[in-house]
Chains A and B, each alone.
Chain A
Amino acid sequence: MKIQQLSLFAENKPGTIIAPCRLLAREGIDIRALSLADTQRFGILRMIVSDCARANRLLQDNGFLVKVTEVLAVEVPDRPGGLAEILAIFEGTSINIEYMYAFPFGNGDKAILIFRFGDPDAAIERLQASGINVLESGAVLKK
C-alpha cells in the first residue's frame, strides 16, 4: 500500500543533482518519477526508482545524504477535475498533505499522484472508503 521514495539533500547551486543521477544511470536504476523541492538555500530531490533499496545503498556509499520515506500513490483519470476530486476527499478532515507530485501514467489517459501525508494510515482508510485505488509499488513501477 505504501511505496518507498528516496529523498536526497541537495544544495541549491549549479551542478548538484547531476552526480546522483549519473550514478543511478550507471547502475541501470530507472527514475520513475521525481520532484525537486527547493528553497533559496537548499533543495530536496524526491524520487521513485526501480530499485529503492539498491539505489539507497549506492547513494549512501557515495556520500550522498538520502533517506527512504513512505508515500502513497493514487491513480486518477488525467482530465480536468481529476485532482480536485481526490483532494475533496480530505476536505474538512485533519489529514494534512505534507507534499505531493504527479506524473502521467498508462497511455496518457491516467496520472499517478504521489502523496506524503501527515498520517498515511488515516489517509489510506479515507481513500479506500471513497473507493479510490491506492497503488502498490509494482503498479507504480510498471510502464
Chain B
Amino acid sequence: MSGYTCWEPAWHRGLPASVLGGMIAPGGVFQTRVGVIKHGMTSIANAVGSIYHPASAPDFVPLPLLRDLQFKRLRDVVERAWERVEWFRSHMRERGLSPDDLRSIDDIGKLPFTAKTDLRDTYPFGLFASPMEEVVRLHASSGTTGKPIVVAYTKADLEVWTSVMVRSFACCGLHHGDVVQNAYGYGLFTGGLGAHYGAEELGATVIPISGGNTDRQIMVMKDFRVTAICCTPSYFLHMIERAGQLGVDIRNLPLRVGVFGAEPWTQSMRKHIEELSSIKAFDIYGLSEIIGPGVGIECHCHDGLHIFEDHFYPEIIDPETGQIRPDGEEGELVLTTLSKRAMPMIRYRTRDITAIIPGPCACGRILRRIRRIGRRSDDMLIIRGVNVFPSQVETALLEVEGTLPHYQIILTRERGLDQMEVQVEVTPQMFSDKIGALEALNEKLVDALDHVLGIRVKVTLVEPQSIQRSEGKAKRVFDRRSS
C-alpha cells in the first residue's frame, strides 16, 4: 500500500485552476477532524488546523470532468495495449474490436476481460507494454502453481502509485508530522514499498520496519512515538495482544491511525481493534495486478472504500455471465488501469466480490465507493494476509505422503486472528501404533504446508471416512470466519 501524488500533464490541462489550486471541498464537510489526537500530542500537520490535505484535490474533481478524464485515459491505455501487447490485440480482434470502437466511457463493457490465468499464461513478461529499458521495478505475487504473477512499473507508473498512496494516507487524516510504522512486508510483495513511498511523499516520517519481530514492532511503536501503522489487520491484533503481554497498553501510546489491508476483514474486527487500541482503523484496498495498495481507501466516514477511479476504473459484473451489474448490486469487481504504462490491465477480473455503493459519500469525495470486500469468487483464500490456494495444500500433502489423502480446510477466526486447520484422514500407510510416529507425521505435514504456503497452520489427523465425501465437486474449504 502506498502512494504519492503525481499529476500527469494531461490531468493538469483538463482541470480548472480552482480544482488544482484551491482545494475547494463541497458542503463544508471538512469541519470534522479525522484523526483523534491523543494525550495532547500535537503534530505539525494537525497544528495547521485543517484535516483537508492538498493531495486529496483529485478526489473532489467535478463529475463531468472526471468522466471526461476517464474516457480520455481509457482510450489512451487501450491504444497503448493494442499497439504494444500482442495478447491484448489478438483478444480484441477475436471480438472484432479496435480502439476506435470506444466512443464513450460506457463502451468499456465491450472490451475483453483479463483474468489472473492470463497473467500466468503469459508469464513472465507477456503482458508488458513497455520495453525493459523503461521498466524500473518488478513485483510478484503468489500464484496457484508455484509460478508467481509478475507486474511491472515504469517511472511514471511508480509516480501514479505513490500519488494514490499519498491520497490514501491523506484520506485517513495523515500528514507530514505523522510517524508511520510500515509493517507491511518489504520485497516482492507490493505492500511494503507501496506504503513506504506513499508515506514518504506525504512528508510523514517512515519507519521501514517490515513485517515480523513483534516485540521490536512494539518497542519501536512506543519509543519512536509512532502515530500511524500500516499492516494487515490480523497482524495488528497480534501486536495488541503481544503488547499486553509486554505490559504496553497501545491505548496510552500516540498511535492514532491504522491503515489496514491485504486481507478481507470485517466491521466487527474494526470495532474490536478500535476498542483495544483507541485508534481509527482504515481499510485500504489494492492488488498487485492493478498497482498494489492504493486502489481504494476508506475516508473518515468509514462507509465503503473510495476507488481512485481517475486511475482505476471500477465495474461490477455478474461473475457467471460477465454482464455488468448496476450500482448497488453485488458482483465481481473488475478494474481497468486507466494510466498504467508498463502493464496496462484492461478489465481485470479481481475475483473480489463487492458492490458499488450508490450515491455520494458524506465526505464530499466524488470518487465512487465499493463495499468492503467480504469474499472472493475463486478458491483463493486470504489467511492473515497470505494468499492460499487449496491446490497448494494438496501439493504439500502429496509431498509428504506420495498419495493424496482426503482432507478439508477449516477456517475460523479467534480473537480476530485467522486460523487455518487442515484435517487429514489417516490412511493405513500413514498409521503407526506409536504416538511419537504419528506426532512426527503431524509435524511433517505442518512443515510441508509451511514450506508451500508460507504460514504455520494446524494439522489434525482424523479417522478414515470421517470427512464427508461429495458427489460433485469436492467441498474442501469450510470458511467459518463470519464474525
Binding site for B on A (CB under 8 A): 5, 7, 9-11, 16, 37, 39, 41-42, 44, 46, 63-65, 67, 69, 98-99, 116
Contact = CB atoms under 8 A, between A and B. Distances in A.
A69 to B, nearest CB: 5
A69 B437 CA distance: 14
Contact of A39 (B426, B433, B435): B435
A9 B434 contact: no
Contacts of B460: 41-42
Nearest to B458: A41
28 contacts: A5-B433, A7-B431, A7-B433, A9-B463, A11-B461, A11-B466, A16-B463, A39-B435, A39-B438, A41-B442, A41-B460, A42-B438, A44-B433, A44-B435, A44-B438, A63-B464, A63-B465, A64-B463, A64-B464, A65-B463, A65-B464, A67-B432, A67-B433, A69-B433, A98-B434, A99-B434, A116-B433, A116-B434
Contacts of B464: 9, 63-65
Closest 4 CB pairs of A and B: A7-B433, A63-B465, A69-B433, A65-B464
A42 B432 CA distance: 12
Given A11-B462, A65-B464, A39 B439 contact: yes
A7 B433 CA distance: 6
Interface of B: 426-428, 431-435, 438-439, 442, 460-466
A65 B434 contact: no
Given A9-B426, A65-B428, A37 B461 contact: no
Interface of A (DSSP majority class): strand
A98 B464 CA distance: 25
Contact of A37 (B431, B435, B465): B435
Contacts of B428: 65, 67
Per DSSP, chain B at the interface is loop
Contacts of B439: 39
Nearest to A60: B428
Contacts of A69: 433
A69 B431 CA distance: 12
Contacts of B442: 41
A42 B464 CA distance: 13
A68 B159 CA distance: 68
A77 to B, nearest CB: 28
Contacts of A46: 433
Given A39-B435, A99-B434, 5 more contacts: A7-B431, A7-B433, A9-B431, A41-B442, A64-B463
Given A39-B439, A42-B438, A11 B432 contact: no
A138 to B, nearest CB: 23
B264 to A, nearest CB: 29
B457 to A, nearest CB: 14
Nearest to B428: A65
A21 to B, nearest CB: 15
Contacts of A64: 463-464
A65 B430 CA distance: 10
A20 to B, nearest CB: 10
Contacts of B426: 9, 65
A7 B464 CA distance: 14
A22 B48 CA distance: 79
A46 B435 CA distance: 11
Nearest to A63: B465
A99 B434 CA distance: 8
A67 B430 CA distance: 11
Contacts of B465: 63
A16 B438 CA distance: 18
A39 B440 CA distance: 13
